[in-house]
Amino acid sequence: MSARSRIRSAVAAAFVSPRRQALARDVWALSRRLSGGRARIDYFHQADDPYSHLAVQMLGALGDRYDAEIRVWLVPPPEPAAAPESERLGALGLRDAAEVAQARALRFPSAARQPGPDLKALAEQALAGRLGRSGFSREATEIGEALWSGDAAALTRLATAVSADPVAALRTGEAERRRRGHYLGAMFCFEGEWFWGVDRLGLLEGRLAARGLDREPGAAPLAPALEPQLAPRSVGGDGGVIELWFSFRSPYSWLVFPRIRALAAHYGAELRLRFILPMVMRGLPVPPPKRNYITLDCKREADRLGLPFGRIVDPVGAGAERALAVLHHAIALGKGEDFAELGLRAAFADGIALAEDGGLVEVAARAGLKRDQVFEALADESWRTVAETNRQALFEAGLWGAPSFRFNGGPARWGQDRLRALEEEILRAG
């Protein structure tokens, strides 16, 4: 491997190393103790974000369970570069939030629709006037339900009942979020570490418990991760088809791949690989704060799942293209799943450069491909047509990023956190 690739891998490993992260946490904790302050969770709430509506419902229970102050900040939507494809993201958020709410016994209006600017402004006014109040979780939930239900009368009543400057509140919240290095709503921050919505609340609970802040030690977390259960299979049927859109540059694709592969095998489903180019190679930028958060989040999730992660050699550009060329041929040879999983592991866990002949040949050999087959694949550009067809199919399904998946042509889901929902759909199909 080239010296440049080795250096990149070493830098990435240092960035996600448990020792560095533990030191950063201890510095935060020491600073708090020296100032005599109480442990504090900062929560960043975005009025027109469905995931914020779910997260804010947990604030009361979180404050009761853990000995930490919760400070709420009102924030605007992220910049377009950090959250591209806003229309698709909005439509997905409504559908996904309703499903998450049902799975976690939370509330989300069944007929929710994306609010217009007037309703959003009323909600921000109502929220800004209630920041710092002890019943914020309950009041914010009421405001959110009115917003997502399109109840203008209720929002007007809630907004006019308080006197506040939402513009100033949003400006202050955005400045604080930016100062701390983030960009999204529905975010919790504790000792410099970020946790997204109810999907990561269980990890935050673990951090709070590790600091001795759990008032009910040993009790079940408020929001555990929702993982597939691999229920006993019913007899009969062909198992159906799971389509998986993934990218060799997506670390979440690495986290999902061995799990969705095991899920498909357990239920006798065909796993159909629909590879796509990385977002950045399709003109969708990934700003540095987003890239840093994703890397650290993936490390935590990998640790939770027992998967290796951290020796990263970014395959963007030539690495991704060469891996896709070989994958296209590997699929035809019946070795696609092996090569895809090993290629993702190589990029995000093994520190192997897919852009270099030595690295690509090594990964291919692990998957049972010969050196001659690798170079034959590299000389064939037909993978580009397939990747473009897969991209178009993904957009037609209402999504745009990796990993995404669907079962038997049903609703497409995005993200490695949604495998439990995929499993439930398989079980419903019998």
Q: At what angle do helices 318-332 and 357-366 cross, to 10 degrees?
A: 30
For residue 35, pLDDT beyond 90: no
Tell me which residue of 100, 139, 130, 95 sits closest to 114, measured CA to CA.
95
Look at phi and psi of residue 407 and say left if phi exceeds 0, alpha if psi is from -120 to 50, else beta: beta
Measured in degrees and rounded to the nearest 5, phi and psi for residue 71 equal -110, 130
Closest CA to 248 of 161, 346, 149: 346
Both tokens of 176, joined, read: 């604080």
Q: Which of the two residues, 392 and 235, has the higher pLDDT score?
A: 392
DSSP state of 401: S
- Asked if 173 contacts 73 with a C-beta cutoff of 8 angstroms, the reply is yes
Per-residue pLDDT tens digits for 184-220: 999 999 999 999 999 999 999 999 999 999 999 999 9
Give tens-digit pLDDT for 131-157.
999 899 999 999 999 999 999 999 999
How does residue 282 score in pLDDT terms, banded at 50, 70 and 90?
low
pLDDT tens digits, residue range 350-371?
999 999 999 999 999 999 999 9
Quick: pLDDT tens for 340-349.
999 999 999 9
What end-to-end distance do the CA atoms of the chain give, in Å? Answer: 48
pLDDT band at 235 (very low <50, low <70, confident <90, very high): very low
pLDDT at 63 > cutoff 60: yes
Helix (H) / strand (E) element for 7: namely helix 3-15
CA-CA distance, 151 to 112, in Å (whole number)?
Answer: 11
Q: Please give the pLDDT value at position 21.
A: 83
Q: What is the C-alpha to C-alpha distance for residues 319 and 347, in angstroms, rounded to an integer?
A: 9
Nearest one of 229, 277, 272, 226 to 249, comparing CA atoms: 277
**Three-state secondary-structure class, residue 243:** strand
Give me the DSSP letters along 77-100: PPPTTTS--HHHHHHHHHHHHHHH
179 band by pLDDT with thresholds 50, 70 and 90: very high
Between CA 50 and CA 326 the distance in angstroms is 40
- Are residues 365 and 326 in contact, defined by beta-carbon separation less than 8 angstroms? no
User: With contact defined as beta carbons under 8 Å apart, do 190 and 207 qualify?
Assistant: yes
pTM attached to this predicted model = 0.94
Residue, of 123 and 30, whose pLDDT is higher: 123
| Bridge-based pairing state of the strands 241-246 and 270-275 | parallel
Q: How far apart are CA 58 and CA 106, in angstroms?
A: 9
Question: How far is CA 327 from its chain centroid?
Answer: 25
